[in-house]
Structure 1
């Protein structure tokens, strides 16, 4: 494989032999062991370095690493355990020994790139043949590490062109799944793409729609939070704030984040923080005693006992989040804790490690006033309790273990290993990378290991809840599972376990910008605020919402109306003029009273039918008029009650025909009176045209015209029952539609025409001198009749619903009573109370005045 030309220079030795030397100072591994096939390891044994003031007058000194990190030592031990187990195996790579070179990056991305190139190049001089100068195989066949995402992106970018597999155990950034940018990157931990989505669904499950977000200002935090926000928006979750920081930022920036949290109204904080960044934040939160917030975390810290131990103020109590599923590897714990072999090296790193682990000093100065004991190199870990002896991160150790085994299985396939391996095959990183992508095997603990097309494993998480114990420590309780391989809707599965929330509360915290809108209301967004901030507006009349947090109100069907709570459509009240209500009862009583009055008058007239006053006023037409008035009073009853097809046709036609019959009789009486006076003139022969037969024919003819009009109306477009939904919003008016308005107004018009003719004739005969002249009474009755029906038209048109029916009934009754009282009551008065006037002599005007 060709080496980077920028990293080497060609110089000539004294013998003019071309030699390739690495430019700059060489990098030496902190841990190494020779083997047939070499694996590289990159871990951050230290988390930071001393700041150096560069004067640019001399070459910068190497980094001086500080802040020893026991966790990374555990990860390195997990790698060594896997290598040793493989080397001792007779089934996997028999006859092949694996060696390793492990470097410390001190938490520096620049140093991570540098040591990665050292793993690829090596530090030895290389003689350059004349044909292909400065070439040699890669120093390692695969690299294990790094722990964080940002160093992995830098390393994968640099070694990608050489196709050297880089297998990370804890770099979760979704950006690393891009095989165009990072073709040789693989990992044994799921991508944050799945974790971010899982966190969003977890937040939604508990009803938290108003949350704050804090992230590490690096690839892990920025990319993970971006995916979370995208998914959260689709689920209707809003972020009140989203802030970022890095552990090396000035303290003022972290304090500004504390102020943002204090000023917020959300009670849930979603974090995408590395455990080192969270440790810095927890320190500041403790200074402000900022409790009462529900923390939601990622696998970076949610099951980290070291982070829990730092939370002295119990700020994170009740935290919930996603963690890598629990794992157990037989023998790994004992191997990691067996630190005695580490003492066999003279490396300064392990001197520092040993001193920090046992709190002692090698070669303790006699003049030193420190109270630390001297290190003997034979110290025992029994009784030591610190982050190195804590095995809570076994799932991550297992990821390192699986990564080493993935390389070993790929080599096993390449070398065609059975009882022995084919030593003649010279594997190169590209060949190993291709085989790793296609492997599928199970570890001795039963874990299935494989990589998808993006170099990622299957995404499975445990849901962990921080539950404080009585002794002040934290118990990481698994309360559910998330499996991204399952269908949507079944991926999140919470177990029936009691959860503990912030400040040891058993109740799920509430974190919403606005309370849920109950049924009967709809959401209206608040101007300038996220969609989670809204007001609840009551649905308008006739509209409902029967679900919580409805964004719209639905109109009820035309025959339904909203109830008082606006959460259900109820059938509208059907309204019509009924006998049960007061108005209907009064009109019925009036109708029956008029009928009885007419019957009484008819009986009086029948009893005194031979009396002069009855005989003088055309008794035949009088009885026909009384009969028609009886029908007029009774036809008003057809307007009361629920409309039906027959009642609608009957009420208007019966009204029209009976009133025409009535007016025809009055008209006949008027014409008889008028013509009788004309007949007294000399030579007049007019009465022969107004005899009883002619009177009957005239009444029949006038009535027949109305019958024909009604028949045409009923034949072409008859009245029909109609549900009036527009008059009242919350009621249905049951009424009779006219069908043909022309037919209705033709009926009324014809009645009006006859009434006007009758009024004119009666008016002309009002001053005739005969005592039997009833024209003046007919004039009054027609005056009342016309006045009633003239006022009826605007009243009928403007009256709503059943009141229009009541107006029509009132007009019928008023005009009927007007005819009855004006024409017949005066005669009944004479018949009953003034019998002396009921004589032929008096009728002829010859009585005593």
Structure 2
């Protein structure tokens, strides 16, 4: 191998004339585009034509390039919007004042191969112009805008990324900056969360999902499956894949699946062609009574917004690309004129093709299998002007064009920020700044990632660490930004149903009182049967020691009633009962909580091998006995207090010189202190045990509730002592009543609030699997 290399080097030196290096193009792509020179060139990829012929692959000669046809005025208007934005920037003295932007815009014909060729032409150098004949370096663009089609964007971004050229992709509802991991962030373009919030708002827990068999549909389904459960608590009835062509048998099968399903809501993620084919089959089979939710590829299709489709698609909820206003764009479009043929240096000029499309007054014949909507459009000058106005010059509803506009300005602001760099304080090695001469695309990418500006339509444009711009959804009849809770005005929604009300779309209706949910084997979680409950309410009650819970509720009721003894004129009987009843009731309450905590710890230890015998000390009899003993001890304290120094009515003249306060004297401060101390001891012991058990598995999660309840209880009574001592007369009674009620409410809400929430509002979680911490 070494010999060969040396031989080649000697041979080329010996005979340089045979191997003189000159840079020549071996071929040139016949690409449809428009160009404008400038100090810095920006590239663009747009779908101006939507069809292309299949070249003849004989493998005996060089294949001919495919021919593009089926002119798409919207794609051409997007390209012209980029030209307009660059022209506007060049006239702006406050943005890139000393730099002139140029552009090279290519038509990808909605074909991946064409898109690749156009992207490589932009990267390597436009129109065959070379900076150096020795190195074959062309005049590359510093940034590319497009492509708007999902599959093409993913594929092209992987190639463009190798050259570190910024690619601002025009996805469905936002613009995305191409980064090294842009494929993974492709998922961020789907407005899935907005759709799921709509499902949640209307209680649609059972929905069907139809996707096209491409990157766009597959990633939408993946995003739905990952986000649907944790956000809405719902599930999908089915996931069907739309055929890529007009396969009538396959479309018939899909429609039959929809007809047989119990789901009333159907979500569709598909591109225009697949959607038209599906809806044509829906109309043919007269499938009505469905609520459709659509992605932006559907809501922007004018062919579906006709009287023929309204009985089937009326009331569709759909996500749309955010609308914006571009001042001056219409006047710019009105000035477009055909270009002389000799000036067309790079393939077929799309401006000329636009006028050819208008004057021919017809669309190109659609390929076989496409839902035909073309035909003769116009016959005279007046009709031609109407076609121009409707297809091209109407700028009242700019959506994809507005994304193009923002993308161009993002590149311009990044370049402007780069040129503002101060020498010696730059972000590159050696604190250097990038120079316009010899500027590398990756240097512009550094500034593009940090760009932040506001458009004339008050939309903020910036990119996060993933390269995603803030997505703003325009949802038909509802609107929200991605980081806001969806606000829906139901009065403005048209429901295409008999009673003009939103439909119900659930797999199974909620179970009536006296029944519980029994999940169907092999079915999604939201599909269940309602079976009669076993005697004695539900799983969450049985799982939380129902007997002690009932006793605890009774003791809390007594605690609330204790506050009534503090009302009215002091009497010997009420003075004796108010503290005794308070002390015994709270000990009964806290002792129940203490025993519940001990049972939780015992059950957890018994779940370990060889420890089952310990449960015999915590049976129902032992639990009742422990509560009785602890309560009786407080009863003894109260009895001794009442016998030795019973509280009694007392006329106090020490508080005020001109008033006599009629109050209940406690009789013995020591007795009252022992009563409170015993309650505090039990409460602190319950708190400590519950705190130690708080991290037990989910099936023993009542310890967390006990910890929180005891924390509230102790906080109230710690605050009570100084407040009670410093409050004279009736104010002391008010402080004590407040402490009784506050601590009782705290225990009631902390211990029973979460359980009542599940029983009353989330019955689907009142199952044995859910209580035991079961996870799918």
Partner of 1:397: 401
* Partner in structure 1 of residue 70 of structure 2: 67
* DSSP 3-state at the match of 2:38: coil
Q: What is the aligned partner in structure 2 of residue 36 from structure 1?
A: 39
CA distance in 1, matches of 2:300, 2:377: 32
What's 1:484 paired with?
A: 482
Q: 1:352 to 1:62 in 2, by over 3 A?
A: same
1-side partners of 2:327 and 2:505: how far apart? 44
Q: 2:282 aligned with 1:281, yes or no? A: no
1:544 and 1:555 in contact (8 A); partners too? no
Distance (whole Å) between structure 1 residues aligned to residue 287 and residue 389 of structure 2? 29
Q: Which residue of 2 aligns with 1:565?
A: none
Report if aligned partners of 1:177, 1:455 keep a CA contact under 8 Å in 2: yes
Identify which range, 159-168 or 90-99, moves more after superposition. Answer: 90-99
Change (3 A) 1:257 1:338: farther
State the match for 2:445 in structure 1: 433
Q: Distance in 2 between matches of 1:64 and 1:215?
A: 30
Change (3 A) 1:173 1:70: same
CA distance in 2, matches of 1:31, 1:434: 28
Q: Distance in 2 between matches of 1:61 and 1:273?
A: 31
Q: Structure 1 residue 413 and structure 2 residue 402: aligned?
A: no
**Residue 201 (1) aligns with residue 205 (2):** no
Query: SS where residue 168 of structure 2 aligns?
Result: strand
C-alpha spacing 1:515/1:508, structure 2 compared with 1 (3 Å): same
**What is residue 214 of structure 1 aligned with on the other side?**
210
Please show how residues 70-219 of structure 1 align to structure 2 within 5 Å.
70-122=73-125, 123-124=127-128, 126=130, 134-136=135-137, 138-170=139-171, 179-182=179-182, 191-192=188-189, 195-219=191-215
Corresponding position of 1:521 = 515
Q: Which stretch of structure 1 is more off in the superposition, 386-395 or 141-150?
A: 386-395
SS at match of 2:220: helix
Q: Which residue of 2 aligns with 1:232?
A: 228
Question: Residues 310 and 341 (structure 1 numbering): CA distance in 2 closer, same or farther, change over 3 Å?
Answer: farther
Tell me the equivalent position of 2:267.
270
The 5 Å alignment of 1:604-753 reads none
C-alpha change, 1:179 and 1:426, in structure 2 (3 Å) is closer
Relative to structure 1, the CA distance from residue 172 to residue 327 in structure 2 (aligned partners, 3 Å threshold; closer, same or farther) is closer
Q: Structure 1 residues 143 and 282 mapped into 2: Cα distance closer, same or farther (>3 Å)?
A: same
Q: 1:525-583: CA deviations, max 9, x gaps?
A: 112211111011222211248xxxxx98777843999xxxxxxx999xxxxxxxxxxxx
Query: CA offsets per residue over residues 560-610 of structure 1, 9 Å max, x none?
Result: 99xxxxxxx999xxxxxxxxxxxxxxxxxxxxxxxxxxxxxxxxxxxxxxx
Q: Which deviates the most, 228-237 or 99-108?
A: 228-237
C-alpha distance in structure 2 between counterparts of 1:127 and 1:496, whole Å: 61
* Distance in 1 (alpha carbons) for counterparts of 2:299 and 2:16: 57
| Cα distance in 2, alignment partners of residues 304 and 372 from structure 1 | 18
Give the alignment of 1:261-340 within 5 angstroms: 261-309=258-306, 312-336=309-333, 338-340=335-337
The 1:127–1:266 alpha-carbon spacing in structure 2 relative to 1, beyond 3 Å, is closer
- State how far apart, in whole Å, the 2-side matches of 1:552 and 1:317 are: 47
Of 558, 573, 584, the residue aligned with 2:547 is 558
Q: 3-state DSSP class of the match of 2:128? A: coil
- Cα distance between partner residues in 1 of 2:317 and 2:529: 30
1:20 counterpart residue number:
23
Maintained 8 Å contact 2:182/2:467: no
Matches within 5 A, 1:402-551: 402-416=406-420, 425-464=437-476, 478-479=477-478, 481-486=479-484, 491-495=485-489, 497-503=491-497, 506-544=500-538
Distance in 2 between residues matched to 1:128 and 1:13, nearest whole Å: 20
Is 2:277 the partner of 1:256? no
8 A contact 1:29–1:101 mirrored in 2: no
Contact preservation (8 Å) 2:173, 2:322? no
CA distance in 1: counterparts of 2:541 and 2:480, whole angstroms: 34
Q: Deviations over 1:777-814 (max 9, x none)?
A: xxxxxxxxxxxxxxxxxxxxxxxxxxxxxxxxxxxxxx
Aligned counterparts of 2:482 and 2:67: Cα–Cα separation in 1? 43
Partners of 2:174 and 2:471 within 8 A in 1: no
Task: Tell whether the 8 Å contact from 1:163 to 1:429 is kept in structure 2 after alignment.
Answer: yes
TM-score normalised by length of structure 1: 0.55
Contact 1:41/1:144 (<8 A) preserved: yes
Separation in structure 2 between the aligned mates of residue 75 and residue 302 of structure 1, nearest angstrom: 18
Q: 2:769 matched to which residue of 1?
A: none
**More helix by proportion, 1 or 2?**
2
In structure 2, relative to structure 1, the CA distance for the partners of 1:186 and 1:114 (3 Å cut) is: farther
The change in CA–CA distance for 1:71 and 1:254 in structure 2 (over 3 A counts) is farther
Distance 1:167 1:393 in 2: 22
Please, what is the CA RMSD of the aligned residues?
A: 3.9
Q: CA deviation at 1:348?
A: 5.8
User: What SS does the aligned partner of 1:168 have?
Assistant: strand
- Superposition deviation, residue 163 in structure 1: 1.1
Higher relative contact order (CA 8 A, sep 6+): 2
Cα separation, partners in 2 of 1:313 and 1:380, compared to 1, 3 Å: closer
The CA deviation at 1:31 is 1.2
Cα pair distance change 1:532/1:127, threshold 3 Å: closer
| Distance in 1 (alpha carbons) for counterparts of 2:193 and 2:288 | 27
User: Closer, same or farther in 2 for the Cα pair 1:424/1:316, shift >3 Å?
Assistant: closer
2:584 aligned partner = none
Q: Return closer, same or farther for 1:438/1:395 CA change in 2, 3 Å cut-off.
A: same
Offset, 1:320: 0.8
Deviation at 1:192, TM superposition (A): 2.7
Higher gyration radius (CA) = 1
> Distance in 1 between the 2:319 and 2:378 partners?
42
Return the offset for 1:375.
8.7
Structure 1 CA distance, aligned partners of 2:160 and 2:138?
Answer: 14
CA 1:114 to 1:310, structure 2 compared with 1: closer, same or farther past 3 Å?
A: farther
Change (3 A) 1:55 1:341: closer
User: Per-residue deviation at 1:434?
Assistant: 0.8
Once the two structures are TM-superposed, the CA of residue 422 in structure 1 deviates from its matched residue by: 11
* Mapped contact 2:161–2:180 kept (Cα < 8 A): no
Deviation at 1:15, TM superposition (A): 8.0
2:312 match: secondary structure:
coil
Say whether the 8 Å CA contact 1:41–1:101 is kept in structure 2. Answer: yes
Q: Is the 8 A contact 2:172 2:296 kept in 1?
A: no
Gaps (5+ residues) in structure 1?
1-10, 363-369, 465-477, 546-550, 562-568, 572-724, 727-849
Alignment-derived partner of residue 705 in structure 2: none
Find out whether 1:381 has 2:393 as its counterpart: no
Q: 1:83 to 1:287 in 2, by over 3 A?
A: same
Partner of 1:353: 354
- Matched pairs, number: 516
CA distance in 2, matches of 1:66, 1:13: 48
Contact 2:178 2:467 in 1 (8 A): no
Listed one character per residue, the Cα deviations across residues 673-723 of structure 1 (whole Å, up to 9, x for unaligned) are: xxxxxxxxxxxxxxxxxxxxxxxxxxxxxxxxxxxxxxxxxxxxxxxxxxx
Structure 2 segments unaligned to the other structure (5+ residues): 1-11, 364-374, 423-432, 556-619, 622-776
Q: Is the 8 A contact 2:130 2:139 kept in 1?
A: no
Give the Cα separation in 1 of the matches to 2:542 and 2:71: 62
Partners in 1 of 2:482 and 2:460 — Cα distance? 16
Counterpart position of 1:604: none
Matched residues in 2 for 1:302 and 1:161: separation?
Answer: 35
Return the offset for 1:523.
1.0
